[in-house]
Amino acid sequence: MTEHLTDRILEENAAVFSAMISHRFVQDIAADELPAAVFDRYLLIEGAFVETAMAIFGYAVAKATDLEDRRKLIGTLDALANEQMAYFETAFAQRGIAPDAALQADPRVAAFRDGMLEIARDGDFGAIVTAMFAAEWMYWTWCTALRDAAITDPMVRDWVDMHAAPGFTAQAAWLRDRLDVLGADMTEAERDATVRLFGRVQQLEIDFHSAAYADSSISAA
Ligand SMILES: Cc1ncc(C[n+]2csc(CCO)c2C)c(N)n1
């Protein structure tokens, strides 16, 4: 079997991946019609997710067996703690918003956070790479597609640009290449499991992004 594992993952999950990259949240940004209140709620749940991502990458550092993997993941942790978190601190201050416990308790937000953490805690290194590949490849795809879109809100513009920039592109490509190398040594059952895991993460992502819309949120009634 010489096929790259990630080609198979993307092929077999094409429907759910496409549903995510054409989510209402992405379409609203593409049309320059994302309501400010939706982006505010998104920033609050997303800022909390970056903290979760640090925990996930921490598990990956612990479970890695290769020094080069550890170096790479520690670089990612540094960028999350010092660059990404700085973006959220500035964004919260400029928009006058503050973390909201009710929003974090929305079942769709909780399912994403807890589901991703569970994969990192209970899964092996390959499972963590698969989950992060799912989350990052998806962002890289839609943000790259919107590179030339007219986006008025400078913070939304920055957010899209950040995920189409060379640094993020390299990070998403590293996850893809790493998973292909890991896949070459997996059993067929293990490869099947990564295909399913990728699909599960896309569904968690769809629900997470839906939670940014108050009209479909249980906490906004
Ligand atoms: C809900 C959600 N899903 C995926 C990403 C993409 N992403 C950007 S940075 C990062 C962590 C490590 O690089 C991930 C997964 C996101 N931002 N938010």
Cα 215 to middle of ligand 1, angstroms: 24
Flag whether 73 is in a domain.
yes
User: Could you give phi then psi for residue 65, rounded to 5 degrees?
Assistant: -115, -5
The residue whose CA is least distant from atom 11 of ligand 1 is 53
Q: In the numeric block, which tokens belong to residue 96?
A: 């006058």
- How close is the Cα of 139 to the center of ligand 1, in Å? 7
Structure tokens at 202: 């896309």
Q: Smallest Cα–Cα separation from 59: which of 79, 73, 49, 80?
A: 73
Nearest alpha carbon to residue 135 among 39, 208, 37: 208
Which residues form the pocket of ligand 1, taking CB atoms under 6 Å from any ligand atom? 46, 49, 53, 76, 80, 132, 135-136, 139, 171, 205, 208
User: Sorting pLDDT into bands at 50, 70 and 90, what band is 217?
Assistant: very low
- Average the pLDDT over 43-50 and give the result: 95
Structure tokens at 172: 């998403």
Cα–Cα dist 64/126, whole Å: 9
Q: Is residue 98 part of a domain?
A: yes
Q: Based on C-alpha coordinates, what's the Rg of the chain?
A: 17
| C-alpha of residue 67 to centroid of ligand 1, in Å | 24
Q: Residue whose CA is closest, atom 3 of ligand 1?
A: 135
pLDDT digits (tens, 9 = 90+) for 57-80: 999 999 999 999 999 999 999 999
Q: Best of 136, 176, 201 to mutate for ligand 1, by most ligand atoms within 8 A of CB?
A: 136
Residues recorded for the chain: 221
pLDDT digits over 165-202, tens only?
Answer: 999 999 999 999 999 999 999 999 999 999 999 999 99
Ligand 1 atom at minimum distance from 209 CA: 1
How far apart are alpha carbons 42 and 58 in whole angstroms?
24
d(CA 89, CA 18): 31
Please tell me the distance between residue 49's alpha carbon and the centre of ligand 1 in angstroms.
Answer: 8
User: Whose CA is closest to atom 6 on ligand 1?
Assistant: 136
Confidence of residue 219 (pLDDT cuts 50, 70, 90): very low
- Model ipTM value: 0.92
Using CA positions, which residue lies closest to atom 2 of ligand 1?
Answer: 135
Task: Return the ∠ at Cα 48 (arms to 210 and 177), rounded to 5°.
Answer: 80
How far is it, in rounded angstroms, from Cα 81 to Cα 72?
14
Report the C-alpha gap between 193 and 9 in whole angstroms: 10
Q: What is the CATH number of the domain that holds 153?
A: 1.20.910.10
In a domain, 26, yes or no: yes
Domain that holds residue 155: 5-216
Do the Cβ atoms of 20 and 207 come closer than 8 Å? no
In a domain, 147, yes or no: yes
pLDDT at 218 over 60: no
Asked whether residue 34 is domain-assigned, the answer is: yes
- The total domain count for the chain is 1
- Separation of alpha carbons 167 and 173, rounded Å: 10
* 168 within domain boundaries: yes
E runs forming strands in the chain: none
Residue 1 C-alpha to ligand 1 middle, in angstroms?
31
CB-CB contact of 56 with 131 (8 Å): yes
Residue 85 covered by a domain: yes
Question: What does the angle CA 152 – CA 157 – CA 158 come to, to the nearest 5 degrees?
Answer: 145
Residue 221 counted as domain residue: no
